[in-house]
A and B are shown apart, each in its own frame.
Chain A
Amino acid sequence: MAMTGLLFDTGEWTFDTLRRAYDAIEEIAVGEMGLDVYPNQLEVISSEQMLDATSSVGMPIFYHHWSFGKSFARQETLYRKGWTGLAYEIVINSNPCISYIMEENSMTMQALVMAHAAFGHNHFFKNNYLFREQTDAAGILDYLNFARDYVASCEERHGMAAVERVLDAAHALMDQGVNRYGRRARLSLSAERERAETRLAHAAETFNDLWRTLPASKLEAAKSPTGQRATDEKLGLPEENLLYFLEKFSPALKDWERELLRIVRNISQYFYPQRLTKVMNEGCATFVHYKIMHRLFDKGLVSDGAMLEFLHSHSSVVFQPDFDDKRYSGLNPYYLGFEMMCDIERIATQPTAEDREWSPQVAGCGDPMRALKDAWANFRDDSFIAQHLSPHLMRKMRLFQLSDRAAETEYRVAAIHNEQGYRDLRRALALQYDPGLRDPNIQATAADLSGDRKLTLTHYLHDGVPLVERDAMAVLAHVGDLWGFAVELVGQAPDETTRYRYDTGHPETEQAA
């Protein structure tokens, strides 16, 4: 083996070959490509454990909830019947960056996975501005540990059903439980955990049942409402982070229930950047593994056979069926991301006149890695597409835009991959990834604290796209449960006309004792 210089020459891996491959990959990734990564921790797990991990959102530690059991049951059934494969790897945005690699993988796949996860994703996590601003890679595992223990202790104290009631509701609101813009300074997760623990300890220490018997203060009563605006101000209305709002202001929740909402909200916030950067994140990782594997091959470190195996699995990852193919299920983020990264590399090194016109900063700069790293650090999916999708790639992908107008009886092809269409196409595709449009814009807008305590949520419709009614009613019922009083959801068009109004009515019993 030493003679040939290959890192490995069989499909079987050993810890020794893993380490050697890792070192060679690291030399290319860090030494040649200049990637900037968290220290790596690679954990080998069995397929069973992979199944476990994928069903609890990919995290090694997570609190228990039936929805994860449901997802496990589904995954397991699909997997056992051979309908789906398992993920090759899972990578966690933490410091050190943990990647799971599966025992069953061949050595070539392990090398691919290391390049993809331990360097591609890892670099992205460490450098992208959203992750830097909104997630706390160093604290996440401790926080998840705390969350699991906290949920378990709540189950013990208050019963599984009571905990489930809150978690079910919180999960339903997870998408509305994030701050889209980093406007509040957030505590790090470890400070968060400490604060929760001291809060709890303080409450336990200073508990005195006598306080309950004091008559309500006159002062408090005198401070009663001085108008709707004052209430709104006090409640911070309007508020788009519904979980935050309910946690802070719901009249019906107990302290531990608020803490549960907070846990779900923090975790949701932690995952939020991943939802905003799916294309870029996968594109970055796929580009990185593609480059590294080719460099390994060029250096004579992997064999032809391993390279063929790699190319086979790489091409199935970036496979994109056409829209009229029955396998089509939307744009493959791996494909789109990978193509865009390659395209940036091409523009940086061999620009055409068109490229010089469309992306003057990158074109011909001669240093593709610098351009890519700049993109990886400073964009998210929608802005990345808006900035970097080139006419060349639109032609290559043969993109076209279909317009669906409620008032018309037919779809209209609004733009295709030609001179007149490039700008429209790029704009339309970017909007498709715009989180402001992708998720329904629902905010808490009014709460009648002095009257019947009705909470009003407003859904600001965009282009008249409605909600799935049955789901909306179900989520609303959850909100009503957390709020403890009536809740209504008002659909409002841009012209301020009301499109619909759902109402939970007055719950018969105010809340479960």
Chain B
Amino acid sequence: MNFIDRRLNPGGKSLPNRQRFLRVAKAAIKDQVVRSIRDRGLSDAAAPQVVKIPMRRIAEPRFRHAASGGDRDQVFPGNKEYVAGDKLPKPKGGQGQGGREGSPDGEGEDDFAFTLTSEEYLDILFEELELPDLAKRKLKQMEINRPQRAGYSVSGSPTNLNVVRTMRSSLARRISLGRPKPGEVEALAEMISDLEHAEAMGALVGDRLVELRERLRGLEARAKRIAYIDPVDLRYNRFEATPKPQAQAVMFCLMDVSGSMTEDMKDLAKRFFLLLHIFLNRKYKHVDVVFIRHTTEAREVDEETFFHSRETGGTIVSSALAEMRSIIEARYPVDEWNIYAAQASDGDNYASDSRACLEMLTQQILPVCQYFAYVEVYDSRQAEIFHSSLNVSDLWKDYLTVPPAFANFAMKRVFSKEDVYPVFHQLFSEHREAA
């Protein structure tokens, strides 16, 4: 008999099996992952995800007996009142008292639920998009210069003086040039004063006092010539301005919530916002999300209100842009934050607002934004009418006039859920071409 301790053996033995499983079940998982976007809040989009996929997509079929049909006998334990010959009604729908012969491993019509790690989840999501690398490269990165320590220099401002280094070179210089040590001078002076004292008492000192005085004068002169700290000793901490990626980003979600936006359209918009958020999250350490919804006037709201409550009224898009600008001014200094904005609307806007809107966009918003995406969402019923590029909304027309010089501006139309990914893709690739 022997005991073997296997606890330290490499674990994760079933990892290859898991990878194979994910591959086999990929189609089903993808469906679920894509569907899950709808039910997730923006901020927990990257959390581990429990997915449920239909059993039939990953079935392991066997020849097995059906649960009902034919003649069968079964023995049960725990009889209480039955005697031979008793009749019991058959339950409807085949699921018998006592279950009958179920499937061997509990497989049925049920869903198969298991947990995807957040990494697997995002991988599948991005694979679906087919542009993770592209987006990674192309999401423009705001860089700011931050001073970073870079060795020492012999010149600099007094605040950057490095005392330790300075004193070290001072010491080296003093030793090499033979500057008399303070103790040496003091000892000499003491000896002289002793002698002087003796002489005053009448002792005969002779040349010795003269000689010592001479030496002291020499030492003092040397100490004066060789400064304790010389300008050549001075060392300063050197700082170099190094460009550093801005680690925080803010994402503005602008949405028109006027009566003409239906739940479906909001759902499309949400998907778009969600994807942008996930991308930003992968890129930046910290992502703030600001939700601004507007009718004729704009208001910052929380996520729940943003997506789910409705208001009626007209549409003045510039109000949202103005709100965004004031929030930027108040809370998000441009040199500290990467600013992204995604706007979703059905394209309605007061005609009189269009100039104000365009002006604000080109002069105040776009110059401070990394990226401004406008998606126009359509109800499925409207899709047919608007699919031709001739029928465009007012806002669309206005936005079309944004000068092409603004490479950080992109616009797209989304007609159905299936459109969201391709549109996202296009937004980024257009962005790339333009940039």
Contacts and interface: CB of A to CB of B under 8 A. Distances in A.
* A associates with B: yes
A468 B7 CA distance: 43
A401 B82 CA distance: 10
Given A323-B98, A331-B77, A411-B88, A67 B60 contact: yes
A45 B6 contact: yes
A12 interface: no
A118 B237 CA distance: 71
Contact of B61 (A52, A70, A172): A172
A68 B17 contact: yes
Interface stretch (A180-188, A345-353, A470-478): A470-478
Q: Which of A51, A325, A471 has the most CB of B within 10 A?
A: A471
Contacts of A26: 1
B66 A42 contact: no
A49 B25 contact: no
Interface in A345-391: none
A414 B86 CA distance: 8
Contacts of A472: 61, 63
Interface in B4-26: 4-7, 9, 11-14, 16-25
Band of interface residues on B: 35 or more
Contacts of B82: 400, 413, 416
Interface of A is mostly: mixed
A466 B83 contact: no
Band of interface residues on A: 35 or more
B309 interface: no
Given A69-B21, A411-B88, A463-B70, A325 B78 contact: yes
A177 to B, nearest CB: 11
Contacts, number: 267
A404 B61 contact: no
Nearest to B17: A69
B70 A65 contact: no
B84 A432 contact: no
Contacts of B13: 49, 52-53, 56
Interface in A20-74: 22, 26, 39-46, 48-49, 51-53, 55-56, 64-70, 72-74
A501 B345 CA distance: 58
B89 interface: yes
A397 interface: yes
B99 interface: yes
A88 B191 CA distance: 91
Contact of B97 (A19, A118, A411, A429): A411
A410 B89 contact: yes
B96 interface: yes
Contact of A425 (B67, B71, B75): B75
Contacts of B17: 55-56, 64-66, 68-69, 72
A418 interface: yes
B90 A410 contact: yes
A211 interface: no
B6 to A, nearest CB: 5
Interface stretch (B110-118, B157-165, B314-322): B110-118
B72 interface: yes
Interface in A106-148: 118
Contacts of B70: 406, 461-466
A399 B76 contact: yes
A410 B79 contact: no
A70 B5 contact: no
Contacts of B102: 329
Contacts of A330: 99
Nearest to A421: B84
Nearest to B114: A73
A421 B86 CA distance: 13
B87 interface: yes
Contacts of A418: 84
Nearest to A395: B79
Interface of B is mostly: loop
B62 A412 contact: no
A253 to B, nearest CB: 20
A69 B14 contact: yes
A329 B98 CA distance: 7
A208 interface: no
A410 B2 CA distance: 58
Nearest to A401: B75
A308 interface: no
Contacts of A415: 84
B61 A475 contact: yes
Given A52-B11, A404-B71, A66 B20 contact: yes
Given A52-B13, A398-B80, A406 B20 contact: no
B344 to A, nearest CB: 36
A122 to B, nearest CB: 11
A329 B90 contact: no
A440 B69 CA distance: 14
B59 interface: yes
Contacts of B50: 77
B65 A64 contact: no
A465 B87 contact: no
A252 to B, nearest CB: 20
B7 A44 contact: yes
Nearest to A459: B63
B20 A22 contact: no
B97 to A, nearest CB: 7
A70 to B, nearest CB: 5
A241 to B, nearest CB: 13
Interface in B290-323: none
Contacts of A459: 63
Given A69-B22, A80-B115, A44 B4 contact: yes
Contacts of B25: 66, 70
A65 B381 CA distance: 46
18 contacts: A19-B3, A40-B1, A43-B4, A55-B17, A64-B17, A66-B20, A70-B21, A70-B25, A73-B112, A73-B114, A76-B115, A404-B73, A411-B97, A414-B84, A418-B84, A429-B75, A463-B71, A471-B62
Given A69-B16, A76-B115, A412-B85, 14 more contacts: A41-B1, A67-B60, A73-B114, A164-B24, A321-B78, A323-B98, A399-B79, A401-B76, A404-B71, A404-B72, A406-B70, A413-B84, A414-B73, A415-B84
Top-8 shortest CB links A-B: A322-B78, A69-B21, A465-B70, A69-B17, A464-B70, A474-B61, A73-B114, A323-B76
